[in-house]
Amino acid sequence: MINVRGLTKDYVEEGVVTTSALRGVSFTINKGDFVSIIGPSGSGKSTLLQILSFLDRPTAGTYTFNGRSIENMSDRELAHVRNKQMGFVFQAFNLLSRLSVYENIEIPLVYSTVPVPQRKKLIEDAVESVGLAEKLHTETGKLSGGQKQRIAIARALVNKPDVIFADEPTGNLDSKSGAQVMGILDALNAQGHTVILVTHETYTAEFANRIISLRDGAVESDKPVKSPRRSTDQFFK
């Protein structure tokens, strides 16, 4: 699904390289993988996520997504693929608090080609998958932090994306809510969804089957997780 080779990202000011955020990063992620990208602040993981999710372009190197090189895709094509084939979960939830759960989950569909009559079923299926069907018409601002993140996951799922990018999804949650969110991502991966998790927390990273560790913009290690963590919490309570 994802193949990057020699990926480099330089930030330039007045013709001079001020920061080399990525330095020759290479790896492959297959369909159905659950991969954590981990590293300290300044390691390049946020820059890498932006490039993998088509929000930025590399300075050098190659990136192939589902067999297509992003070098040959226009910004409009990238935006279309991002909307149709990628789902996003953020640390800050990025939900509109005065809208209902239904309306928040519907947002990606508004920018898609999905006909209005078909949206209701997709939204109901998405919210059911995170165990919050009873909150469908609740104002989002009235939910707990853990519930908001589960709704954010439902929103990421509604377009049935090929890959889910989760950027520090437990960063604003207590340990119980964080375990519930990771349990949902783990369950989604077991159902065949590809999940790419960016985190600075080793405990969270170990829910994945594989950890790519970055340091100073380069891959320090790329190893399988021998025994991925499996939360014993009841995810949907």
The pLDDT tens digits of the residues spanning 84-133 come to 899 999 888 899 999 999 999 999 898 887 888 899 999 999 999 999 99
90: Cβ contacts below 8 Å, ≥ 6 apart:
152, 167, 168, 169
Model's pTM, two decimal places?
A: 0.89
Pairing of strands 163-167, 86-90: parallel
Phi–psi pair at 35, nearest 5 degrees: -120, 135
The DSSP call for residue 171 is T
Alpha helices in 38-97 (DSSP H): 45-52, 75-85
How many whole angstroms separate alpha carbon 104 and alpha carbon 79? 20
Closest by Cα among 146, 118, 119, 121 to 132: 146
Contact 26, 51 (CB under 8 A): no
Rounded average pLDDT over 148-170: 93
Per residue in 21-52, pLDDT (tens digit) is: 999 999 999 999 999 999 998 999 999 999 99
